[in-house]
Structure 1
Amino acid sequence: MPQQGVIGLIGGMSWESSAEYYRIINQAIRKRLGGSHSARCLMWSFDFGEIEALQHAGRWDDATRLMIEAAQRLERGGADFFLLCTNTMHRMADQVAAAVRIPLLHIADPTAERIRVAGIERVGLLGTAFTMEHDFYKGRLQRQFGLDVVVPEADDRALVHRVIYHELVQSRIEPSSRAAFAAVITRLVERGADAIILGCTEIMLLVRPEDSPVPLFDTTRLHAEAAVDRALAGNSEPAPK
């Protein structure tokens, strides 16, 4: 029986997607180990209202400080490695990783690796406006994995961002928004995307495989499953940064 490493989770951004992380991780551990096994994990969960306010005020330095404090809490609690259970807050991933001794498992990496294995090079990216428009996420996919990343046009980016913050993080799943996301995906495919990255951890609550004519790569599930792989394989190797 493999010895489990302790998974550290920085969650609450939003709790809806953090609950999915917890579910996926524990189901995967049970599937791998059988019986009544579950994950050895720690979670620090934020009040997302506070984080959202900092994001939209552009107070990224304050948000970085909070992410670092959370990572340090997990390190003191005995986590062997940690995850930021959110795509957007990987904006400060390098600073957070540098502030602790335990490695960070970056959310973009398991997704990009799976895309490369599938032989796909041009992908559409859905996420918050911060994720779609800033370089911290697209740039990592392009520079480290050689992916050609397409983001929606401005009106579609605004729609996706609005649905995330006004519906999905408030547990609202609207059929009209599902149809709108499907239309956004179709327009990305028309621009040459051969797959779509669900680059916000709540989008998987709304968008289903049948809503897309091309494969979907769900960052929430892929990140959570990669955490299980690392927890069961040992954690002597640092996570890529």
Structure 2
Amino acid sequence: MLSRECHPGPMKTIGLIGGMSWESSAEYYRLLNELVRERLGGLHSARCVLHSVDFAEIERLQVAGEWERAGDVLAAAAKGLEAAGADLVLICTNTMHKVAGQVESVLSVPLLHLGDATAEAVRAAGERRVGLLGTAFTMEQDFYRDRLASHGLEVLVPDEAGRDVVHRVIYEELCLGVVRDESRAAYQEVIAALVRDGAEGVILGCTEIELLIGQEHSPVPVFPTTRLHAEAAVDAALRA
């Protein structure tokens, strides 16, 4: 029997710049569809279009520091998504928000910034001092930490050894779909150190980290950026 439920207004189409890595992009797709089904019921699913890049190309540009060229790749993808009917666009990776301005400049539809969605969730939880886990680019450069700080958050990052562990596990394991108990334990040690330094919560600031760490692995609240970004996108897509 087919569902008789219908959405009270037109659902907007979500454009996804994915593939960085596709492991987390698959999580985005699953979450978007599950969230729409939860909110609308029946057989509803998300309206979305995906441009999945070759991550090896992007990773080479990251390591070489050629961020403008990487931004050109993502900007071209964003323009393609808008041409395909996207009403809003998501960059499905924290690290590549370094080029968010470059991507936003070619769009006439909104770019939903992952850092904003995350910061809003942290503030709503009543937290102000948070630890940040992510790639070395995200933890060590200003583009992401400053975005969070613009929302009134104080951001702590692991020490050098902790940053090395977190970054290595992302690129050598999680981006390849490898989830190891030993790496989870290492991340828990990094989280414990951040808590000792005063972190009231921890931002899982790489979209793959949610494959490894959940709330049950942390003594303080964790903020899963993939889920938070997906929730914000569905809010926007269903807003009248």
TM-score by length of 1: 0.95
Residue 18 of structure 1 aligns to a residue in which SS?
Answer: helix
1:161 maps to what in 2? Answer: 167
Structure 1 residue 99: deviation in Å? 1.2
RMSD (Å), alpha carbons: 0.7
In the alignment, structure 1 residue 189 sits paired with structure 2 residue 195: yes
Q: Which amino acid aligns with 1:27?
A: E
Residue in 1 that maps onto 2:44: 37
Query: What corresponds to 2:75 in structure 1?
Result: 68
Residue of structure 2 equivalent to 1:237: none
Find the counterpart in structure 2 of residue 85 from structure 1: 92
**SS of residue paired to 2:122:** helix
Deviation above 4 Å: which 4+ runs of structure 1?
none
- The aligned counterpart of 1:26 is 33
- Give ranges in structure 1 of 5+ residues lacking alignment: 235-241
- Separation (CA, whole Å) in 2 of partners of 1:66 and 1:209: 34
Aligned residues: 233
**3-state DSSP of counterpart to 1:220:** helix
Deviation at 1:14, TM superposition (A): 0.3
2:105 is matched with: 98
Given candidates 109, 116, 121, the residue that maps to 1:109 is: 116
Return the alpha-carbon distance in structure 1 between the equivalents of residues 40 and 133 of structure 2. Answer: 34
Residue 217 of structure 1 pairs with residue 195 of structure 2: no
Range 30-39 or range 187-196, more displaced:
30-39
**What is the CA deviation profile of residues 131-181 of structure 1, one whole-angstrom value per residue up to 9, with x for unaligned ones?**
0011100001112x1100000001110110000000000000010000000
Deviations 1:51-70 (A, max 9, x none): 11111111111101001100
User: What percentage of aligned pairs have identical amino acids?
Assistant: 59
Q: How far, CA to CA, are the matches of 2:167 and 2:239 in structure 1?
A: 36
- State the distance in 2 between where 1:208 and 1:123 align: 16
For residues 120 and 33 of structure 1, the distance between their equivalents in structure 2, rounded to whole angstroms, comes to 31
| 1:126-205 alignment, distance < 5 Å | 126-143=133-150, 145-205=151-211
TM-score of the pair, normalised by structure 2: 0.96
Alpha-carbon distance in structure 1 between the residues aligned to 2:63 and 2:164: 14
- Cα deviation for residue 208 of structure 1 reads 1.8
Give, in angstroms, the shift of residue 126 of structure 1.
0.2
Work out the CA distance in 2 between the residues paired with 1:43 and 1:54: 21
Matched to 1:203, the amino acid is I
Q: Mind listing any 5+ residue stretches in structure 2 that lack a counterpart? A: 1-6
Distance 2:125 2:43 in 1: 33
Equivalent position of 2:3 in the other structure = none
